[in-house]
Chain A
Amino acid sequence: MKIKVNFSNLKNHQNFLFIIRLIEEFLQKKGYLKIDLPVLSPTLIPESYLEVFETDFRYFDKREKLYLTPSPELFLKRLLVEGIGSCYYLGKSFRNSDPPSSLHSFEFTMLEFYKVKANYMDIADELLEILRYINKKLKTQNSKLKTKTKNQKLKNQNLKLSFDKWEKISVAEAFEKYADIFEKELFDHQLFLQKARKKGYQVEKFSYEEVWSQIYVSEIEPHLGKNGYPTLIYDYPKEFAALAKLNPDGKTAQRFEFYINGIELGDCYTELADWKEQEERFLKEDKQRKKLGKINHPIDKGFIQALKYGLPDCAGIAIGVERLAMVFLGFDSIDKLKVIDIIL
């Protein structure tokens, strides 16, 4: 790997920081409290689909393992239990094993915010307001720059989207509409794999989750956020519940993701407050991590302790800020926003 200086991106980088300022302005006006947090932690929430960075702290002849946080969730939920109320973190998060690409960097800026006494659809309303706010402010900024040459204008004209409303579609509706997979097949592992095989996917030796993700990425994602509005796709199968509360149907979780132009920008849950269920999911994820040979970090038991004490009803969302800025500024890659980049 090497360090790359992209000085010609300075203007884009300034626009990226401008979008960050807009987000913070909006959240603070709405009463969200900004929190800064550590990025090194001795324990983590076990998540089987991502890999973490491991390092160690050394003093004299002692060593202690520390991990770079893939999300600030483990800290923010502790504070929610303490009664902090609606709050946010906007800073670096780290995910290992994903080579840098147009949409991914192993070190990235994450916005995570929580709203108390709210569920995932309340966050959806708030989020739409944020998107509208960014869009409006960028437009005003553009008209201020009108007297200057074209090149100096912000590039968001490419975004021919209206933020008046969401295009809302449930995961089950999307599978039926775009992949011709019916609800009955979607939630039944055996029927699902049979249907996938018929469609030409390799299913032998692969799990429901793996094949599901492949179909989701190949056949669903490319359609999202392309019908004139940003798309909100909600109610994922319980296998993808992660830290989200289940719906009363027992088959789906209160989770949504949002998309613009086929690009996933954020992931939201109505937060699971039931410590027993969360502990079970942690153990399952931890087992899966071990099976996959991933870094064996300690499970965050303090997190379960905090849930035992009582997490208030709340919902939260994590947003990749580089991706969001990239979409608003009309770029096809997050590297365009960086003046210093670490590349392979």
Chain B
Amino acid sequence: MKINAGNLKKGDFILYQNEIWQVQKAEFYAPGKGAALMKAKIWNVKTSKNIDITFKSGEEVEVVEVESRLMVFLYKDNENLYFMDEKTFNQYSVPLTAVSGLEKYLKEGEKLYVYIFNDVPLSVRPPLSVRLKVVKAEEAVKGDTVSSAKKPVTLETGAVIMAPLFIKEGDILIVNPETGEYTGREGK
């Protein structure tokens, strides 16, 4: 389906230079000379690369219908992440290159949305946050009172992130899986 680039919005999948991209950001831009444009940041579902492009607001863009299907994350190896569709029991693999580090924060058995186009899995929709247990955390150095100080902690998936000094082993942290940033601790 072709749409006017002026109507592009975040989350849309488009066909650009024969590849499928997801719109990460689309901003109307009026340069003050000449007509208005749409400035977009698009994400390649295959390579997980971001690029900036510009469309004339009257330009037509091919939008593709990509389905997002809830699946269970089974396991990963050096090349792929493996998922199962709980309704059909079909298994799908998503290449690691398409998820750009997201795999470090995924627990087996977790349910995630997988992007599917023509029954081919393309990528995984990153969850807004994940909850992961701390398996290793050094004691904070006494006397260190700077409130913004952080220390490295190891999570149950093996990922190491920076967390506040008060975090202890066994705590459940809330992490942004796209950036690996600590965003909070689950209340006990």
Q: Which residues of A contact B (CB under 8 A)?
A: 49-50, 95, 97-99, 101-104, 200, 202, 205-206, 209-214, 216-218, 221-222, 236, 240, 242, 264, 267
Contact = CB atoms under 8 A, between A and B. Distances in A.
Interface string B12-23: 000001000000
B34 A218 contact: no
- Contact count band on B: 20 to 34
A242 B33 contact: yes
B28 to A, nearest CB: 5
Interface string B86-109: 000000000000000000000000
Contacts of A221: 31
A214 B32 contact: no
Given A217-B39, A218-B52, A222-B52, 4 more contacts: A216-B34, A217-B54, A264-B31, A267-B32
Contact of B27 (A95, A102, A209): A102
Interface in B29-54: 29-37, 39, 52-54
B59 interface: yes
A112 to B, nearest CB: 13
A218 B31 contact: no
Contact of B34 (A95, A98, A205, A240): A240
Contacts of B29: 101, 103-104, 217
B58 interface: yes
Interface of B: 17, 27-37, 39, 52-56, 58-60
Given A206-B56, A214-B54, A50 B35 contact: no
B37 to A, nearest CB: 6
Contacts of B31: 49, 213, 216-217, 221, 264
A50 B32 contact: yes
B36 A98 contact: yes
A209 B35 CA distance: 7
Rank and list the top 9 A-B pairs by shortest CB-CB distance, nearest first.
Answer: A213-B34, A218-B54, A240-B33, A101-B27, A209-B34, A98-B30, A210-B35, A99-B28, A217-B54
